[in-house]
Amino acid sequence: MAKNNSSIPGVALVFMLGLFACQPNNVFQDVRDIPESRWNKDNILSYNFRIEDTLQPYHVLLNVRNTSQYNYRNLFLFIETTSPQGNTVRDTFECVLADERGRWYGKGWGDVYENEIPYRQFIRFPRTGTYSIEIQQAMRTNNLKHITDIGVIIRKAKTQ
């Protein structure tokens, strides 16, 4: 007599749907590798993304990965955002990566720690089109060691 295993695919489907339901609602996500984990001050990282919905609020997050050998608790960045019309806003932004005792924030695996750091929350982009974000390290050193990756995440925000 053949055994009926029809409930197994159904359980797997429910499990898979549960996994996808827990994923953040990212509109854009791009992470760039820092060659040899040495971020030269002249290496400006550029990210381009499209916005179609001007009524939707968004969170803009920075994804920062560093090794445990990173010499500082924080990371200062110059961030320049350009609208589809060419209007530009430039910020100096601090990412805090460790507490006062030197314990790293974020998720760690092996020697690397990853943080999703809120840069802007509940913002609305005023126009549809392609925006760009450029990120430059601002740590007063020509070659900043032990930053391995920098990324930008644009995530739909739930209304406040």
pLDDT tens digits, one per residue of 83-102: 999 999 999 999 999 999 99
Candidates 157, 128, 144; CA nearest to 78 is: 144
Q: Would the pLDDT of 11 be above 60?
A: no
pLDDT in tens, 36-84: 999 999 999 999 999 999 999 999 999 999 999 999 999 999 999 999 9
Output the CA–CA distances (angstroms, integers) from residue 59 to 8, 27, 74, 98, 111, in the order listed: 38, 10, 21, 22, 28
Name 75's bridge partners. Answer: 95
Report the CATH number of the 26-156 domain: 2.60.120
Confidence of residue 23 (pLDDT cuts 50, 70, 90): low
Whether the full predicted model's pTM is greater than 0.85, yes or no, is no
Task: Give the pLDDT confidence score for residue 5 in this predicted structure.
Answer: 47
